[in-house]
């Protein structure tokens, strides 16, 4: 976050995302689409969770003095983002379409869910295998709480557990989605908007 904020003073566009895995995914998608966000002066800032959005928007100053904004959030945080946007006079979004018009996009249910659907559970398991994580994933699947559950739910849980796994697979899953020309709509639309 500090590195992104250090670049913010020179930014033309600032994209606010919930965390570092979102930043990694968006930066990877940009490279895959042939974009050089640094040269375009687009800065992606992980804000440390959805509840920080209001503080970040307030810190950007009054409307008219701000850089162009965009953002990405999970479905469960959509209303938090919407209220913060209204409170900080970013706009008056009443619907998701209104939010998108203002450059803010919602992942259903979250970015990992979007990426798993784009790549597919079998292909995601193949990624686990090629990166030495399939055995650990199978171990999670055999746990009583996860046995028999949908593969997508197991994969989401696996990505969220373990040190830095979510960060590594954010890049790998985006690369796989790009390779199949199935980049999730929120990432693709956000890149097109900034």
- What are 15-65's pLDDT values in tens digits? 999 999 999 999 999 999 999 999 999 999 999 999 999 999 988 876 666
- What are 90-126's pLDDT values in tens digits? 989 999 999 999 999 999 999 999 999 999 999 999 9
Largest CA distance in the chain: 55
Q: What is the 8-class DSSP label of residue 18?
A: S
17-48 b/e with 16+ CB inside 10 Å = b?
bbbbbbbbbbbbbbebeeeebeeeebbbbbbe
The domains of the chain, with CATH numbers, are: 2-112+183-193 (3.40.50), 119-169 (no CATH)
- What are 69-95's pLDDT values in tens digits? 999 999 999 999 999 999 999 989 999
């Amino acid at each position: 976050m500090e590195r992104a904020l250090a670049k913010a003073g020179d930014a033309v566009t600032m994209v606010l995302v919930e965390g570092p895995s979102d930043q990694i995914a968006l930066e990877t998608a940009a490279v895959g689409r042939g974009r050089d966000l640094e040269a375009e002066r687009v800065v992606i800032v992980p804000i440390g969770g959805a509840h920080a959005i209001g503080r970040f928007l307030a810190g950007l100053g009054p409307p008219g003095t701000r850089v162009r904004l965009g953002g990405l959030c999970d479905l469960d945080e959509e209303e938090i983002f919407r209220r913060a946007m209204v409170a900080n006079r970013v706009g008056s979004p009443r619907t998701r379409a209104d939010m998108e018009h203002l450059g803010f996009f919602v992942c259903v249910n979250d970015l990992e869910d979007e990426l798993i659907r784009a790549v597919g559970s079998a292909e995601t398991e193949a990624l686990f295998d090629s990166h030495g994580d399939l055995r650990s994933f199978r171990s999670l699947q055999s746990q009583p709480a996860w046995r028999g559950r949908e593969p997508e739910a197991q994969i989401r849980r696996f990505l969220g557990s373990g040190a830095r796994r979510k960060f590594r697979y954010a890049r790998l899953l985006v690369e796989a989605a790009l390779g199949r020309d199935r980049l999730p709509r929120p990432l693709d639309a956000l890149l097109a908007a900034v």
